[in-house]
Structure 1
């Protein structure tokens, strides 16, 4: 199996965001430190394949699974993935690939092996421990914000937090973007209270109502969020949650968000 490689352009964006490693004592002996790029490739290998850390093939030059896990932990604590995602959103807006004329929200449940933080009984999977990925995407399916919760949390409870989690998106002269003009959502978000709170934020809610016939017509707007969930599930580590620590799973999730944004940006560049 060929190892996944972080290409040079993406690495040029990531490298300045990584915390500087501490200086080693000259008298210390032992194995040389695995480079940041090699460790990042190891993290990407785990994200894409879903392989367990202790099965990470060291012959591919990643270093041990423990080394890659420690780097991922340190980078998550340093806020690397949040800053990388914000940087890529700015680039997407600059290239005209970000469209917040409307946004769509939805969630996806993933089984959690061994439970852990931010898990809960999944009402659609015999109450097995699971987590939910709540995401908000723009009109092109660009992932803009994400929240991890237990699977027993109702979707509507995360509607406003998803909107509030949108950071200022720059990339162009003038005011930064902070909110979509319209939000499309399915029946799981049906709440007059939340509709009013969205209006108070200057956002027009278009949310299907419960106990109404199917065929509301929202599918022609909401399909982009379902496609983005599909893109995220191409990363096998996100299909089943193996990490008991919620922050490690969130690190994988936010790294995947950045990779999806990067792929959209690269496709746009190749089109010109």
Structure 2
């Protein structure tokens, strides 16, 4: 059974392949072993992301664990994962449209048993190591930004770097930001510091008040996105990577899959194309 259906992964691979920089053969004799095909390594990385298995468990006769990790690091250095996520967001905006007038920010705690750069004592796991993801979505729950931090960091200090991820839409993506943005937050952000930050950035805040019953409002979409991350991608449910750049790469790949899945599901009723699924996904 494939990790991701072909109608999702094939368009992602087509774009991913176009972003991979050419490799120069620097061997002095030109007699090294043939390079493993990029598609094989890409499929292995998708399996690692979805199933959460170790690289050694995914490796087989076609590709070793060392090759998977080495090629992954090459693509991270080249910025392939970040570019892929941005292109998916641009495609979604052109076909469906991103609703950036209302954005939602919230944190999500996950276990990090291997420790690393983004690990800290989790306040909800009796001090065990964990990682926090401060995620931002548009009004329909499309992930548009994420900041990684240790689990013992509060949500409020992560709000500024998370909202600064909106700057990617003004840097050549062709999307653009609305004149006024409303930020929906839970009670963990209910402070004068948060309101001052929103005023500084020119945003309007809709913040749940502390000491009152749960006030979901329009904030529920980010909770659903957290569920997409943790239930659909075991690698994000239990973070076993030790380096922040690797975690960010897997999150970008997961976001690309989520965005394309939503794009195809919505466009199924309005567009026609050669590889369109016979039934609405």
Give ranges in structure 2 of 5+ residues lacking alignment.
271-281
**Corresponding residue for 1:123?**
123
Change (3 A) 1:179 1:69: farther
Measured on the aligned residues, the alpha-carbon RMSD in Å equals 2.4
Q: CA deviation at 1:80?
A: 1.3
Q: Mean Cα displacement is larger for which, 29-38 or 125-134?
A: 29-38
Question: Contact between 1:103 and 1:180, CA under 8 Å: does it hold in 2?
Answer: no
Distance 1:114 1:178, change over 3 A: farther
Please state if 1:8 is matched with 2:7: no
Q: Partners in 2 of 1:120 and 1:174 — Cα distance?
A: 37
Asked if 2 retains the 8 angstrom alpha-carbon contact of 1:89 and 1:169, the reply is no
Residue 261 of structure 2 is matched in structure 1 by 263
Distance 2:242 2:79 in 1: 20
Residue segments in structure 1 that go unaligned for 5+ positions in a row? none
Which residue matches 2:67? Answer: 67
Matches within 5 A, 1:14-33: 14-25=16-27, 27-33=29-35
The aligned residue for residue 45 of structure 2 is 43
TM-score of the aligned structures, taking structure 1 as reference length:
0.90
State the alpha-carbon separation in 2 of the partners of residues 74 and 57 from structure 1. Answer: 18
Secondary structure of the equivalent of 2:167? coil
Alignment size in residue pairs:
267
Query: Relative to structure 1, is the Cα distance of residues 2 and 268 closer, same or farther in structure 2, using a 3 angstrom cutoff?
Result: closer
**For residues 107 and 179 of structure 2, what CA distance do their matches in structure 1 show?**
19
**In the superposition, relative to structure 1, how do residues 31 and 162 fare at CA in structure 2: closer, same or farther (>3 Å)?**
same
Residue 187 of structure 1 pairs with residue 207 of structure 2: no
Question: 1:55 corresponds to which residue?
Answer: 57
Q: 2:226 aligns with which of 229, 241, 251?
A: 229
Q: State the partner residue of 2:199.
A: 199
Q: CA 1:256 to 1:179, structure 2 compared with 1: closer, same or farther past 3 Å? A: farther
Contact 1:114–1:242 (CA under 8 A) maintained in structure 2: yes
Distance 1:180 1:31 in 2: 56
The aligned counterpart of 1:210 is 210
Query: Residues 118 and 149 of structure 2 are in contact (CA less than 8 Å); yes or no, is this contact kept in structure 1?
Result: yes
CA distance in 2, matches of 1:159, 1:31: 48
Matches within 5 A, 1:65-214: 65-169=65-169, 176-177=176-177, 181-211=181-211, 213-214=212-213
CA distance in 2: counterparts of 1:148 and 1:3, whole angstroms: 25
